[in-house]
Chain A
Amino acid sequence: MQITSPGFKENARTALDDAPLQRALGNVRKGFIEKRAKASAALPEFDLLRDNARDIKDHVLAHLDLYLEAYAEKVEAAGGHVHWAETAEDARRIILEICRQKNARTVTKGKSMITEEIGLNDFLEEHAVAPVETDLGEYIIQLRGEHPSHIIAPAVHVNKDQVEADFRRVHTHLDPARNLEEPTTLLSEARAVLREKYFEADIGITGANFLIAETGTSVIVTNEGNGDLTQNLPKTHVVVASIEKIVPTLDDVSQILRVLARSATGQDMSVYTTFSTGPKRDIDPDGPEDYHVVLLDNGRSSMLGSEFQDMLRCIRCGACMNHCPVYHAVGGHAYGWVYPGPMGAVLTPSLMGVDKSGHLPNASTFCGRCESVCPMRIPLPKMMRHWREREFSRNLTPATARYGLGAWAFFAKRPALYQAATRLAMAVLGRLGRSKGRFSAMPLAGGWTKYRDLPAPEGETFQAQWAKRRTAA
């Protein structure tokens, strides 16, 4: 996927002016937050389970090389094949090779962010293999020629009437006069159209939420059941997963499952959690005859041992973006690559380079909500700050910001001067803004005031108020 993160500011501006998008984003604010709060409150052990989930993944990351070897051995013992891919390009090539060996013309796909990361669909199409997304949200955006704007609700930016228009445009074999007003009729239509695709497909490709070292098992978690039809009906099942998806045992995965769905959708459990190990056995009447796993590194191994290692605990639940005021305002596409929201702001620079995505760690108000809801207790704001520091020291910050920060540093190192200067500034701003209590435009802060008013300072600095309180006490 083409990265447009360097244009984050432009992207964000467009998103803020996009009325249908803004309407759709209302669904994120409304639904997810309340549901997660309810589900987590209903389980007294929730925070204890979060601690344990974090500890399990920390243990895995400290032993990742060894667990990967143990996992691969088990996959092979069960009759599966393991392919190691250092880069996105390697992964694409490996998958295409499997397609060629099987003379595949159509592949069905379960929802997978990793195949988005490696740009698999475009690549397969260029090589005469037709990928069909089967998750309803993914199917909708594939019809629209778009990319997911959310890691668990890929079409959250699309409204119902847009879906209707897309179905009418693409499903031309159906009666044009049919009624598609209700969401249920849209769902039934997609179900019927995709049913045929499962049976036609030569290969089913899924991602994996977890890879279990104890048994060589890949796990997918879905609500629709599309991932299961994708992997059970075609002759070949290909799993594409990144290396940090490893968990040691079935007990460990059970622990993490308890926090995954609750954090993601507010369900206690997703409808289908499916454990797949190797190809079908000789006596099995169904299931794939061939089972391949493509293990993708793509920059993750160098995050180990760095200040970004904790990011590899991420289980892609989406809670951080569901609770992010910046995501609520601009949606997922503005972030310009596969992973949006706070987790994307940390991961994208790690995987794609900070030179291409330096704006993302700045797309934060540092309100800390992402960290407070992250089931894996990933310190997202701290890591965004690390990127800002790196970006600053690498001279990538635009000149105005550098100049501003430099000036701030000059004063901050000289407390007396700083106080005098800020007192002056507060007094001036306070007077200027007094009439309305806020500014709707301000020189040098155009980026802020274009979309919101800046509250006028109350007239005294924090330090002055603090000093007053201390003497009063």
Chain B
Amino acid sequence: MHLNKLPKLTFWRAVLALILAAGAYSTYARFFHGLGASTNLSDRFPWGLWIGFDVLCGVGTAAGGFTLAAIVYVFHLERFRPIIRPAILIAFLGYARVGTTMLYEVGRPIRIWYPLILWNPRSVLFEVAWCVMLYVTVAGLEFSPVILERLGWKAPLKILKAVMLPLVFFGILLSTMHQSSLGSLFLIVPTKLHPYWYSPLLPLFFIVSAVGVGLALLILASHLSARAFGACIEQSILVDLGKAMAVVMLLYATLRFQDLWERGTFAYLRQPTVETTAFLLECLLGVVLPIVLLLIRRVREDPEGLFAAAVLVITGFLLNRLNVSVTGLEGWAGGSYFPRWTEVAVSVSTVAAAVFAFGWAVRYLSVFPPARPSDGKTGEITSARAARELKPATREAELVSRA
């Protein structure tokens, strides 16, 4: 068993090392040769991958944190408590990543903290900057008990427990504010952004789809963690998350369809443009298909089916954010933007680092509830393969923690 695992591990380690090396080179290029030399950004495309992917998608994918915090702490749906920790960890890592890539993105990284002292409350970006800074602190504090537990520090743990509830509430409010504000960033370009994507309702679309993708990411993380580390979440919880995701995505689809209809946007579908292709791809692949899949019971209750639906929702979300921030603006700019490899390397390597950190935390901290023998009910992870994979992984984890 152990021998079997070894080559797989080294392969992934090699990939990770390669990605991190590319990231390191890109970091050097960015900070020692400037934005012009390390990106394909230009006066026509002042915003590119780092805003579209790292900021818009990065913040969005962390929405699982506040969604689940609301489900457990506010609605008291205790069944979901087992996944609150992974959710908050994802949120924290997601935001930390956003903060890190912002250092690459802005032209003068040393001044990244300026919004703290130089205020322009009329600016949506000012509000986003503040919310991101505050939320990364909140998410860090929300997750810190896990670390304190491990260290066995009782006193700070007590203090944290006392303020946890207000903290969680504050976190939820912050999230509602800036998830929608990311959409508000684009309210100011009514003539530049293609009508497929420009709408006064952008902030609403952004927060609803963020909740959807937050749930999708939780499903994804639980699924992959089960496979890789033997962390175990009852499948029935995930199926319920899947149902919630279906409802949220239906809400999103309805809102967007109505809005597109009212603004007469469907007329553009007759034009065979890049925008039309991008729009159709986003809607069919990322919204319609996952909803259909989730509505089919057999698919929803099958771990692989649910996983596929979650992946589709995430894909649709990524496409949407990139369409809003890049594709939708290409017509006005009269050109097209494609990221340079160094830009991609920065994005990919920060994601890899976050995934690595997540994996590390799952291994050494109690993030997921301890795997326990299943009671054999249908719908739980008891498939022969899962069980087979669980055992060596837990044994390995034991060995590691003992060492």
| A and B form one complex | no
Contact surface of B with A, Cβ cutoff 8 Å:
none
Contact surface of A with B, Cβ cutoff 8 Å:
none
